[in-house]
Structure 1
Amino acid sequence: MAGRSARRPVTRYRAGEVDRRVDTLAVEEPLEIRVDGEPFTLTMRTPGDDVELAHGLLRSEGVITSREDVQVMRYCSDTTTLNVLDVALTRAPGVPLSGQRNLASYGGCGLCGSSTIDAVAERVLLGSRVEHADVEVDPAAITRALDGLREAQTLFAKTGGVHGAAVASAQGEVLHAREDVGRHNAVDKVLGRLVLDDAPPAPLLVVSSRASFEIVAKAAVAGVSVLACVSAPSSLAADAADQLGLTLVAFARDDRLTVVTSPERVRQGAADAPAAS
């Protein structure tokens, strides 16, 4: 397994001038996850936090519901790199394994937006999600969490080439933050940390990307109450958040945000807003 960053010579053109220099790039390598010795999925990721990634991914797919469902997780000794992770389960998985990722297979024939959301809803029920109907956050807390995520993104500061995700308290205090070249991987890593810690669902998840259906699905299965993304939502992400009871916040940046679904969890007005003159 390589490090998280690598150096590479580049030639930069700026304002008619040529500058030859060495840039820092984010490392991208494959990770194969096997369940009980059988291939389950292959993902391209930034090396590091692989065990968290696998726990978060298997939790979101309904294969496990807690860390007790995993007997052991280790890198395969029959490979020359640390890019194959084998998971031995302690019991039968909640959703039968098909040899491929379930969420990634939703684009096949005969499926539509409603069927994808229904499949996620089954995973939410399987995990006995703790409801957070009484969770409320104010816009200032969301801004605080996003500021905390940016401060934690040390690899992004060096490379500009990774996404970040963080779980935070209802007051916007970042509890855990992770980075990865894949935005879904970053989410799996940070939610996987909660699985490993036997921690309760996080009230708030912030992500440095757009709001996709898969990120909404992962947040819902993990019992997150409020998901805030810095960019736009897709139509299916909004539909899924609405039907799954998740508060989806988009365009959360520069003290601005747009509440797309379940606005009752976001207080009107920011607690830190300046008084009108």
Structure 2
Amino acid sequence: MKTAELLIAPDTTDSCVTVLKYEHGELRERQDQVAEEVPIAMIYNGISHAVMLATPDNLTDFALGFSLCEGILSKSSDLYDIEIVERVNGIELQMEIATEHFVHLKERRRSMAGRTGCGLCGSESLEQAIRMPRRIQGPEITFDADAIYRAQRELQTQQALQGRTGATHASAWADVNGKVLLVREDVGRHNALDKLIGAITRQQLPHEGFVLTSSRASYEMVQKTASADIPMLVAISAPTGLAIRMATGCGLTLVGFARKEQHVVYSGAERLLHKELA
């Protein structure tokens, strides 16, 4: 049997393994749930464009969200068909896209294998590395700070895979009042956001809400959120300097360190309303 066949379990999000746990001076054998990650190949009109390490669920959402966030497609109708094909060494997402987009893709085609922790891996030039999104085009809306805290509380109860494994990130879509409408999980924070944006687009949800991520806010999380015309990104951890500058430049409200009824606003403060205590 080939090594890849031993490593890959493409049909499950998590699996049970036997481990040894040391606790309170005792070493005991126990069963533990671990998250799976699988190579996912993005294939457009027969040409492989990228291979991502991701959790193998919500793959149609993943394919569409990745394609939109990377600028490969401009709208969901540009994706004509998708076939999910399991191989012994991973999964292929075989997509048929509009000819004009495929021609453009071939012009800027690059290899991005293993892109789970760095948004620049595989870029061929500085121009490709940083893509500034256009300014947020949606309606002018404001959010009460309490909406952030409501979304946080609801997200904690809706991370099923994280609850079983402790190894995944989540991206949630919340409405203006902070009610969580969608959650997508993945071992990679970028992948979770791609899946979420794909799901929002497929379900044609109005973009009058915000994204809450269980991770830090890297530049690429800002780029993906802004490219989907979503007005606010809330992260439980810190943003990077590049993320702040990009959010400011495209008019995105960026919030970090959102925990236990506190947060820090890094850009777009005009969209967030705070109660003043006497």
Q: Taking structure 1 as the reference length, what is the TM-score of the superposition?
A: 0.87
The structure with more strand, counted as a fraction of residues: 2
AA of the residue aligned to 1:141: A
> CA 1:168 to 1:240, structure 2 compared with 1: closer, same or farther past 3 Å?
same
Aligned to 2:196: 190
Deviation at 1:64, TM superposition (A): 0.9
Contact 1:145 1:172 in 2 (8 A): yes
Question: Match of 1:120, SS?
Answer: coil
Cα distance in 2 for residues equivalent to 1:31 and 1:110: 24
Question: Match of 2:74, SS?
Answer: coil
AA of the residue aligned to 1:194: I
Aligned to 1:100: 111
Cα distance in 2 for residues equivalent to 1:116 and 1:41: 15
Contact 1:249 1:260 in 2 (8 A): yes
Deviation at 1:108, TM superposition (A): 5.5
Cα distance in 2 for residues equivalent to 1:225 and 1:164: 19
Cα distance in 2 for residues equivalent to 1:106 and 1:45: 16
* Larger mean Cα displacement after TM superposition, 160-169 or 7-16: 7-16
Question: Match of 1:210, SS?
Answer: coil
Does the alignment pair 1:240 with 2:246?
yes
Aligned to 2:126: 111
Contact 1:75 1:82 in 2 (8 A): no
Structure 1 unaligned blocks of 5 or more: none
Aligned to 1:21: 30
Deviation at 1:54, TM superposition (A): 0.9
Which residue, out of 132, 137, 153, partners 1:130?
A: 137
Question: Match of 1:25, SS?
Answer: strand
Cα distance in 1 for residues equivalent to 2:250 and 2:188: 24
Cα distance in 2 for residues equivalent to 1:120 and 1:59: 14
Does the alignment pair 1:40 with 2:49?
yes
* Larger mean Cα displacement after TM superposition, 162-171 or 68-77: 68-77
Question: Match of 1:260, SS?
Answer: strand
Cα distance in 2 for residues equivalent to 1:182 and 1:13: 28
| Seq. identity, % | 30
Aligned to 1:87: 95
Aligned to 2:60: 51
Deviation at 1:120, TM superposition (A): 2.8
Let me know the Cα RMSD of the aligned residues: 2.4
Structure 2 unaligned blocks of 5 or more: 1-9
Contact 1:163 1:208 in 2 (8 A): yes
AA of the residue aligned to 1:120: M
Deviation at 1:65, TM superposition (A): 1.7
Question: Match of 1:185, SS?
Answer: helix
Aligned to 1:172: 178
Question: Match of 2:49, SS?
Answer: strand
Q: Taking structure 2 as the reference length, what is the TM-score of the superposition?
A: 0.86
Q: What does the per-residue CA deviation read over 1:161-202, in whole Å, with 9 as the maximum and x for residues that have no partner?
A: 100001111110111101110011100011101221233325
Deviation at 1:130, TM superposition (A): 3.5
